[in-house]
Structure 1
Amino acid sequence: MTNHASARERLASATRATRHQKEWFLGVAERARTGEPYVLANADAPHEILRALGLPYVVNQWWSSIIAARSAADASLAAVAAMGLPDDSRQYDVLPLGAVELPPDRVPWGGLPAPRFAIAERSGDVTHKIFERWGRREGTETFLLSRTAAVPAPEAWWELVTDRWDEVFGAERIDFLRDEIEMLIAWLEERTGRELDGAYLARIMALANEQAEWNRRTRDLLAAARPLPVEVTDIIPAVMVPQWHRGTQWAVDAARGLHDEVAARIGAGAAVCPDERRRLMWIGRGLWGDLEMYRSFQEEFGAVFVWSMYLAIAADGYARYGDDPLRTLAARFVGLTDLLYVPPMSSSWYAKEAVGHGVDGVVHLVADDTPGSALISAELENRGIPVLEIRGSNADPRATGDLRDRIARFLRDRVPARAGGR
C-alpha cells in the first residue's frame, strides 16, 4: 500500500536547504555592501579554492535560478538589452549582469552589489564575453580559465572517474588546468592578502567526496524505487544548495539527511503519484520559473518526472580521490561540461541513467550553448525511449510559454501508458 499524503509533504531537507541558502545569501549581501569582497563564480569554476581562501562566492547559475524563480527574469533581460547587449542568448548566464542594474525592490532578496571578482571558464563563444563585461565594471576584476577540448571517452566513464581520471580526461588536460588553478590562487592571494592552506584544501576535498558518496546512494535509491516516492522539485534544491556549499560539514550533513529522508519515504511506501503509468526524464537545466510544471501531468497522464541532471551529476560527476589536492581538483572540473553535453560521454551517461530509472520518455530542453543535443536525443531514441526536444532557455519565460501543451501532446502521441502502473 502506498502513502500518497506523505509523498506530497515537502522534504524537510529541501526546506532546510532553501532556508539556509537564503540566510547565507542575505549575510553575504550585507557584508558585500559594507565592502567585504565576494566572488561571482560560474558553476564550472573551482569553488573549493575560494572556500580554502575564505572568500564568499555566489554561483552565477544559482543566482540566475533565483532571479527566474522570483519572476525577475524579464526585468533583468530588459536591463541587459538596455546595455546594448543581446537578451536572447545565454540568458541563464547573463541574468545576474542585468539584475545588478535593477533597484533592490525589483531583485530577489534585495539583490547584490557588483562582485569584487568574477571567475569562469571560457566555455563557448559567449560566456567569457559576459564575464569580461563584469570586469569592465569599476571595482570588479575577471579571471578566465581555459576550456580544453574533450578526448575520446572510455566506455562507462562513471565507473572510472573517481580514481582513474587521467584515463577519462587525459593527463595533459588535467595538468594544464592544474597550472591555471595555481595562477588563479596567486592572483587572488596578491589581491586579497590571503594565503591558501594546502591542508585545509585537502580537508575541503575530502568533505566534498563524502558529500558525493551520499548523493550517489540517494540517486541509486531513487533509481530503484517504484513508484516514485519524492517530488523531483524537492530533490533539486535539497541537492543543489549543498552543492554550492561543497567542502563543508554542513553540506555533508545535508546530503546525508536527504538520503535518510528518501530512504524513509521508500520504506513507508510513499508515492508521488499512486497511479504512476509513465516515468519521465528531464534533460537540461531546471525550469525555475515554472516548477509546478513538473507536477502538472500526474492526474491526467499518471506521468512523473523521476530524473533531473542535478542529483545524477552530483552522484557521478564530482567525487575525485588523489594525493595532490590541486591536480585532483583540476580533475573534478576539467571535464564537467563534457560529462553533461559532449557525446559520447554525455549521451552514454544519459542512456545509462534513463535505463536505470525505468524511463518511458524524455523531455530534452536544448539551450543555445548545449552542443551535442541531437546526438544525445538520438542515443535515447535508439534505445527505444522517445524524446521531445524543446529549444529555448530555462531562464527566459518568452521561450517556454507553450511547454505544457507540447509535453501533453508528446505524452498522448509517443509515450504509451504502462498498464497497471509501475
Structure 2
Amino acid sequence: MTTAATGQRSRKLLACTADATAYQKAFGADLKRRVVDEGEPFVVAQADTPHEIFHAMDIPIVSNQWWSAYISAKQLSGRYFKALTDKGYPENSCKYCSLGLACTLADDPASAPWGGMPKPTMLVARLTCDCIQGVFGHWAEALGTEFFPMEAPAWEDKDPAWFASSRTEWERVYQPDRIALMVDELHEMIAVLEARTGRRFDMDRLEALMHRINEQEGYIAEAATMIGAARPCPVGITDQMPNTMIPQWHRGSDWAVAHAKRFRDEVAERVAAGAAASDNERIRLMWIGAGLWHDPGFYQALEARLGAVFVWSMYMPFAGPQYIREMKGKPMEALASRICSMNEVLHLPPWMNGWMVSEAERCGIDAAVVLMPPRNRLSQSGTNLTIRALRAAGVPVLALDADMVDASKWDHDRVVGQVEDFLREADLA
C-alpha cells in the first residue's frame, strides 16, 4: 500500500502564485503568534460560515478546511485518523471535517502544527449534514470551548440555473425566510462574540468589506471567464486554486483585492500572448471536488504524455455567482444569502448539476474527473446525479474513490494510470 509520500509537487506558471503562497505562509506564522504565543481570541469555523463577520470584528479565524489541508500537506493525516479510531470513533467519519478533531485527540504536540490547536473562543459550523454536530460538538468539548451551530434549512427554490441571477436576485433565489433565519443567527453570534472578546461589531465596516469583496470576486470572475474561453488554456488549476483560495481566506482585505486584480491581469497577459498551461493541450478536463491537498502534482501528470489539461475546478468560477452581491443597502442580508447555500450549490441537486453542466459547456470540457470521498455523504449525495447529468450532456466522467486529505489509500501512479485508461476508453487519447 503506497502512502502520502507518493504525492507529487505541482509546477506553477504565474509569478503571483508564489507570492500568494508566501503571503499565506507569513499569515500562518502571524496567526500562530497572535493565537498561540499571545493568546488572542480567535474562532475556528467551517468554510461555509460568515467569515466576513470575524474579519469585520478583527477576530482571527482558522478555517477548518484550511487547517485540514495544512495537516494533510504535512503528511500527518494517516497518523491522526488512526488516533481517532483508536479512541473509538468510527472509521467512516467525514475525513475533511474531522481531521482537525483527530489532530486534537491525537494530542501529539511534537508532530501537530503549532503544537496543536489552542483553545478558540468559539467553533462555528452550519449543520449541513448529520456528522457536523457530532464532530464539532466533540471537538469543542476536547478544546474546552463552545460550539455555535448554524441552521441549514431546506431550500425550496430548486432552480438549476440559480447562478444566472444570484448576484442581483439573491432575495428570491435564496428565499427570504432562509435569509432572515441566518440574519437572526448572525446577530446572535455577534452578541456572543462581543461578550466573549470585548470587540464591537460595526455595520458600516461590514458594508465596506462587502463592497471590497465584490471587487475582489469580480476580478476572479473575469479570470474565470477568460480561462474558459481561451484556447489553449492559459492557466491550469494548479495556479487557479492558490490564487483563488488564498485570497478567499482573506476576502475583502487590501491584499486580497490587490492580489485578485494581479491574478486577473497575469491571466489576461497570457491569453493575449497565446500562452498555454501545456504546450501539448488536446484534452480539456474538469475536476469536481475539493483539491487533492496531499498530491497536487496529480493534476499535471498527463499533460506531457496525453495533452490532458485540468482547466476547471470549482474554486475560481464559484467566485462570481456565489460571492458577488448587489447589496441594495442590506449588507447583512446580502451576506446571509451568500452563506446560506454555499455547500448546497456545490453538493446537492439540482443546483450542483445544473451549474456544473453549464460550466462544462462554457469551458469546452472533454471529460470530467470526480472526487468521491469514501463515506462522505455530503460530497456524494448530489455527485451521482451530477455524473448522470454530465454524461447526458455528452461529457464522459470518471469517479475516483479517493479522499482530499486522507492519503492512506492513495497511490499516485495507480490513479494516474486509471485516468489514462479512462481517457483512452473514451477515445479521447
Mark yes or no: TM-score above 0.5. Answer: yes
Indicate the SS of the match to 2:286.
strand
Alpha-carbon distance in structure 2 between the residues aligned to 1:348 and 1:398: 33
Q: Which residue of 1 aligns with 2:315?
A: 310
Give the conservation status (yes or no) of the 8 Å contact 2:120–2:143.
Answer: no
Give the conservation status (yes or no) of the 8 Å contact 2:32–2:114.
Answer: no
Indicate the SS of the match to 2:422.
helix
**2:328 paired with 1:325:** no
Shift of the 342–415 alpha-carbon distance from structure 1 to 2, 3 Å rule, reads farther
Letter paired with 1:256? K
**2:383 paired with 1:373:** yes
Alpha-carbon distance in structure 2 between the residues aligned to 1:282 and 1:38: 33
Give the conservation status (yes or no) of the 8 Å contact 2:234–2:267.
Answer: yes
Q: Deviations over 1:385-407 (max 9, x none)?
A: 00111233211113443422221
Measured after TM superposition, the shift of residue 137 of structure 1 is 2.6
Q: Which residue of 1 aligns with 2:95?
A: 91
Give the conservation status (yes or no) of the 8 Å contact 1:366–1:393.
Answer: yes
Indicate the SS of the match to 1:85.
coil
Q: Which residue of 2 aligns with 1:416?
A: 428
Measured after TM superposition, the shift of residue 161 of structure 1 is 0.5
Shift of the 404–108 alpha-carbon distance from structure 1 to 2, 3 Å rule, reads farther
Q: Which residue of 2 aligns with 1:36?
A: 40
Measured after TM superposition, the shift of residue 105 of structure 1 is 4.1
Measured after TM superposition, the shift of residue 109 of structure 1 is 6.1
Q: Is the deviation greater in 23-32 or in 97-106?
A: 97-106
Q: Deviations over 1:227-284 (max 9, x none)?
A: 1122311110111000000121211111101101111112222112222111100001
Letter paired with 2:383? S
Give the conservation status (yes or no) of the 8 Å contact 1:231–1:272.
Answer: yes
Indicate the SS of the match to 1:137.
helix
Q: Deviations over 1:164-217 (max 9, x none)?
A: 112212111111111111111111111112210110011111111111111110
Alpha-carbon distance in structure 2 between the residues aligned to 1:272 and 1:52: 37
Q: Which residue of 2 aligns with 1:4?
A: none
Q: Is the deviation greater in 254-263 or in 385-394?
A: 385-394
Alpha-carbon distance in structure 2 between the residues aligned to 1:127 and 1:400: 25
Give the conservation status (yes or no) of the 8 Å contact 1:134–1:141.
Answer: no
Matches within 5 A, 1:12-411: 12-33=15-36, 34-100=38-104, 101-108=106-113, 112-322=117-327, 323-367=329-373, 368=376, 369-370=378-379, 371-401=381-411, 402-411=414-423
Measured after TM superposition, the shift of residue 88 of structure 1 is 3.7
Higher relative contact order (CA 8 A, sep 6+): 2
Shift of the 36–197 alpha-carbon distance from structure 1 to 2, 3 Å rule, reads same
Give the conservation status (yes or no) of the 8 Å contact 2:236–2:312.
Answer: no
Q: Is the deviation greater in 257-266 or in 130-139?
A: 130-139
Indicate the SS of the match to 2:232.
coil
Indicate the SS of the match to 1:398.
coil
Aligned length: 411
Indicate the SS of the match to 2:130.
coil
Alpha-carbon distance in structure 1 between the residues aligned to 2:262 and 2:115: 30
Give the conservation status (yes or no) of the 8 Å contact 2:11–2:238.
Answer: no
The share of aligned pairs that are identical, in percent, is 37
Alpha-carbon distance in structure 2 between the residues aligned to 1:372 and 1:155: 13
Indicate the SS of the match to 1:309.
coil
Normalised by the size of structure 2, how large is the TM-score?
0.92
RMSD of aligned residue pairs (Cα, Å): 1.7
Normalised by the size of structure 1, how large is the TM-score?
0.93
Give the conservation status (yes or no) of the 8 Å contact 1:240–1:310.
Answer: yes
Alpha-carbon distance in structure 1 between the residues aligned to 2:143 and 2:400: 39
